[in-house]
Structure 1
Amino acid sequence: MTDRRAHLDLFAISSLLACCLLWGLGQVAIKAALTEITPLWQAGLRSALAAVLVWVWARWRRIPLFDRDGSLQGGLLVGSLFAAEFACIYAGMQYTSAARMVVWIYLSPFVVALGMPFIARSERLSLRQSAGLLLAFGAVAFAFAEGFATPTADAPRQWLGDALGLLAALLWGGTTLAIRATTLSTASAEKTLFYQLAVSAVLLCAGAVWTGEAWPLTWSWRLAGLFGFQAVIVSFISYLVWFWLIRHYPATRLASFTLSTPLFGLLAGSALLGEAISGRLMGAMAGLALGIVLVNR
């Protein structure tokens, strides 16, 4: 039986915040790398490299990945959802900013919150928790409100990137629900992640060939660094931690913490690029913290 906890402890909270920080930086890395590599090849090769790393890790830890445990059907489902999600993210980054994309993606907690009661009644949110979730997202939207109001004459198809971001959020939420609803809920985090990476690598690379994207022949040190960060740090390490957490902690409470990712992106911009932290951002951070407390108290 899976050792499932009813509440988030200090280890879970610390791990989640670390993941959110990495995911916020990951969106920036995706956008930056698009100047040197096409979106589907970037996503597909990232998944392929991360899948190899998961396989090596599992071999070293003697964790079976290919035993028959009835998880194949669920694995193919979540792998396909994972591939579609990242196809939307990488393609959408061509039309909208990383900051806008990350806001749309993190609508996924609402998908999880709405769907989890049909899978596990114990994860139904109370009225107070639902209010906390709305407050947390409202704080994030407030932080980005100025950017959404700014005219974008240089991005005439921004609506398309935003729409793809919204679709990615639905797919990410659907992936989390599918993991909990299938036999993957008792599978190892390594096997769950391997399914998603391996299946998505095949589908995304096939999509790159089918759409005629040019094979990336030239790799600068900059591209190698951005790609390596996405594949090793984000797709391998942080996703492994995330799927372990999904297996052991309530998915709705985990999902609420992911709303901190967009604000981590803003903080990273301040630390790495010298961008100013406004009073609006400080107020949004306070609202986000209060919302998360209401959901997890």
Structure 2
Amino acid sequence: MSGQRKGADAFLFQLMLGLCAIWGIQQVVIKLAAADVAPLMQVTLRSGIAALLVGLLMCWRGGWEGLRQGTWRAGLLAGSLFALEFFFIALGLQYTTASHMAVFLYTAPIFSALGLHLLLPSERLRAWQWLGIGLCFVGVVLAFGAGVSWTGMDTRMLLGDGFALLAGMAWGATTVVVRASRLSEAPPGLTLFYQLFVAFLLLLGLAIFTGQVGAVRLTPVGVASVLFQGVVVSFLSYFAWFWLLRRYLASNMAVFSFMTPLFGVSFGVLILDEPLSLNFIAGALLVLLGITLVSSDAWLRKRFAGRGRVA
């Protein structure tokens, strides 16, 4: 199957541009509707809506056979980590900007690369990937400096940025669980259902425990936000991604996907009028460069093939 996958073309670029715009605006949408629907309830409802849609689709097209392959333990773990990621997103957006969330969340490939390096011999990191991790680390330090100024320290923003980084860690850990367990051979729909359904149950429990389950006002903005996240982001865009993975080289798609933080920052500035400091801009660029190096392993090996050892 891998030999039949295509390289990048205009169609892939156009579709990835649309997907990255959708993924980039989701944090902005959550923050925009926070006054009407608590962020924790937004991520809870989106998971529930998407889990229902994925479950109905699998009832129609099949895919439940993975349940008989002993995937449920890994599915519970992946779903728990997925819930943790969105819990930190909801918590972090109460303290930091959507722009900061978009950048720190997308450090996830760094953490997944480190985890897979430790668990799978085939995923050992190469020299340029270690360089990318180093650049990303420096970028994170610089971006965190956006919460510190000559007039003092913005502890709320630093706290929110910390939660955003924890969300990125949880996302990276989810990837490690999927890649290093039986879920790697399971149908994509089942893996997605595990994550969405378990996350819905856990996040709903947290919302009830914290008293946020009633923090919902049925305003046009609130309803539109939840439907956009549940139907467009968590259902349609994820299946579009899986569809592309079956037809295009994953390395090309991974590089294109890092347009997402750029969209997130742009939408944060344009829609929410969020400020950007030089520290944050410089740090974000280093983070993006580092992530690109870590995630473009297959492309770099092909690029330097026949030119001697590159790592």
TM-score class normalised by the smaller sequence: 0.7 to 0.9
Q: Which residue of 1 aligns with 2:262?
A: 263
Tell me, in whole angstroms, the C-alpha distance in 2 between the residues paired with 1:25 and 1:228: 14
* 1:148/1:123 CA distance change after superposition, 3 Å: same
* 1:7/1:153 CA distance change after superposition, 3 Å: farther
Query: What's the secondary structure of 1:10's corresponding residue?
Result: coil
Query: Pick from 4, 7, 10: which aligns with 2:8?
Result: 10
Q: Which residue of 1 aligns with 2:90?
A: 90
* 1:288/1:166 CA distance change after superposition, 3 Å: closer
CA-to-aligned-CA distance 1:82-107 (integer Å, 9 cap, x gap): 01110111011111111112222122
Does 2:78 match 1:71?
A: no
Tell me, in whole angstroms, the C-alpha distance in 2 between the residues paired with 1:116 and 1:6: 26
Contact 1:263 1:285 in 2 (8 A): no
Tell me, in whole angstroms, the C-alpha distance in 2 between the residues paired with 1:121 and 1:43: 35
Query: What's the secondary structure of 2:96's corresponding residue?
Result: coil
Tell me, in whole angstroms, the C-alpha distance in 2 between the residues paired with 1:276 and 1:240: 34
Deviation at 1:34, TM superposition (A): 1.2
Contact 1:5 1:250 in 2 (8 A): no
Tell me, in whole angstroms, the C-alpha distance in 1 between the residues paired with 2:242 and 2:271: 29
Moved more, 155-164 or 80-89: 155-164
Q: Which residue of 2 aligns with 1:107?
A: 107
Moved more, 254-263 or 43-52: 254-263
Contact 1:92 1:164 in 2 (8 A): yes
Contact 1:70 1:183 in 2 (8 A): yes
Tell me, in whole angstroms, the C-alpha distance in 2 between the residues paired with 1:49 and 1:108: 24
Q: Which residue of 1 aligns with 2:304?
A: none
Moved more, 132-141 or 91-100: 132-141
Query: What's the secondary structure of 2:170's corresponding residue?
Result: helix
Deviation at 1:62, TM superposition (A): 3.1
CA-to-aligned-CA distance 1:104-158 (integer Å, 9 cap, x gap): 212211112212233443333321344356557877987x689555689896422
Contact 2:28 2:268 in 1 (8 A): no
Deviation at 1:65, TM superposition (A): 6.2
Q: Percent identity, aligned pairs only?
A: 38
Structure 1 counterpart of 2:170, one-letter code: L
Number of matched residues? 294
Q: Which residue of 2 aligns with 1:80?
A: 80
Q: Which residue of 1 aligns with 2:305?
A: none
Pairs within 5 Å for 1:1-297: 3-4=1-2, 9-10=7-8, 14=13, 16-64=16-64, 67-132=67-132, 148=147, 156-242=155-241, 258-268=257-267, 288=288, 292=292, 295=296, 296-297=299-300
Tell me, in whole angstroms, the C-alpha distance in 1 between the residues paired with 2:197 and 2:64: 15
Contact 2:75 2:194 in 1 (8 A): yes
Contact 1:54 1:236 in 2 (8 A): yes
Moved more, 104-113 or 211-220: 211-220
Deviation at 1:275, TM superposition (A): 9.2
Deviation at 1:208, TM superposition (A): 0.6
Tell me, in whole angstroms, the C-alpha distance in 1 between the residues paired with 2:129 and 2:17: 19
Deviation at 1:63, TM superposition (A): 3.1
Moved more, 195-204 or 258-267: 258-267
CA RMSD of aligned residues (A): 4.0
CA-to-aligned-CA distance 1:163-207 (integer Å, 9 cap, x gap): 211111111000000001111101111100000000010110011
CA-to-aligned-CA distance 1:197-235 (integer Å, 9 cap, x gap): 000101100111111114245311111111111111111
Contact 2:54 2:193 in 1 (8 A): yes
Structure 1 counterpart of 2:231, one-letter code: V
Contact 1:137 1:259 in 2 (8 A): no
Query: What's the secondary structure of 1:122's corresponding residue?
Result: helix
When normalised by structure 2's length, the TM-score is: 0.76
